[in-house]
A = this chain, B = another copy of it.
Amino acid sequence: MHYFSSDFKLGILGGGQLGKMLLYETRKWDIQTKVLDTSKEAPCKIACNEFVLGSLMDFDTVYNFGKDVNILTIEIENVNTDALEKLEEEGVKVYPQPSALRIIQNKATQKLFYTDNDIPTSPFTRFAYTSEIEDSISNGGLELPFVWKSAQFGYDGQGVKVVRSVSDLEGLPNVECIAEQMVNFKNELAVIVARSTKGEIKTYPVVEMEFHPEANQVEYVICPARIDEKVAQKAREVALKVADKIQHVGLLAVELFQTQEDTILVNEVAPRPHNSGHYSIEASYTNQFEQHIRAILGLPLGNTDSKVAGVMVNLVGAENHTGNVVYENIEEIIQLDGVTPHIYGKKQTRPFRKMGHVTIVDEDMTRAREVAQKVKEKIKVVSKG
């Protein structure tokens, strides 16, 4: 099969920033693409060959979208898997596979999968409805504090809450959810595993994540993680085990906790290019988006090593700012060596909305981290006027 400047067509479910960055790679290789998204202002709308407006969760929409593509992939996991299964039965190649998406889409199912497969993860209880939690606390079945997670559709810090007292349950949606024991961790780490249709497997270096306290969004991603090589080795092994058990095809981003005792626990996974891999565009020999394309097309996987150290800063909307976006002081930050802003193209900012990211690369990690700090302090994502 020829993929380059040919009739081959890649379908992508979701047209957000991950899709947009994926399209840099399909453009680079002149691979034809067709994108489905719910918004006519989707960042992917231009740069794909064909754009279809519609719901990713609607069976008919997804099924009809996928019928005429050769390979179908995703940039967001909340899609209609029934339609994907039907397409798969009818011969469309779907990567990641619907079976993998089913495990990952639902956080309760995902956690059960870990325990069933001896993959280390924090203890949890599954509830059909949030309303069941209070009883469970009062009859001693569940101890405070814990982390409440909606089983489905959690994204960008939504659908996650630390519950320290019963009153914290107020206002939470009454949906299927899990209560996770809080992990007293030293570090949050992530490992991106690439696994191709041919079964070839490569891991990216272990990265270290720093989260924004309120927004529960990644504030800095640091590659390589400043951790002991033994811990890094353990992290890679756990990530590889997850990818192997899922028999995942494509990229699998595995978020991990490093406990005070240096145990590695799986937090959650994403079956696609991931925020924790954005640094790879500037820092790696093969960026995560090209790697995803290589994996799902069954091409040889690329070198996952880094050319230089990388730090990534998310650009999220400032608090108390909603409206037409303005990126303040962007000229100041691009004066600094090794600084590359990525603007996703969302015209409207909202508090904590992911609007872009900035990558800082340098031969020296300490310097990269210092520059990242300056970037973080200077740039502001605000609304006009």
Contact = CB atoms under 8 A, between A and B. Distances in A.
A20 B46 CA distance: 13
A346 interface: yes
Given A4-B341, A300-B335, 7 more contacts: A4-B343, A28-B341, A29-B343, A30-B345, A46-B49, A307-B307, A307-B308
Most B C-beta atoms less than 10 A away, residue of A5, A308, A361: A5
Interface of A is mostly: loop
Interface string A21-53: 001100111100000000000000011110000
Interface in A324-368: 325-327, 330-331, 334-335, 337-338, 340-347, 361, 363
Contact of A5 (B46, B307, B347): B347
A145 B254 CA distance: 66
A46 B20 CA distance: 13
A130 to B, nearest CB: 37
Most B C-beta atoms less than 10 A away, residue of A27, A325, A347, A361: A27
A270 B6 CA distance: 32
B338 A285 contact: yes
A230 interface: no
B5 A334 contact: no
Interface of A: 2, 4-6, 20, 23-24, 27-30, 46-49, 285, 290, 294, 299-300, 302-303, 307-308, 325-327, 330-331, 334-335, 337-338, 340-347, 361, 363
A294 B340 CA distance: 12
Most B C-beta atoms less than 10 A away, residue of A30, A331, A334: A30
A356 B30 CA distance: 10
Nearest to A347: B5
A334 B300 contact: yes
Nearest to A46: B47
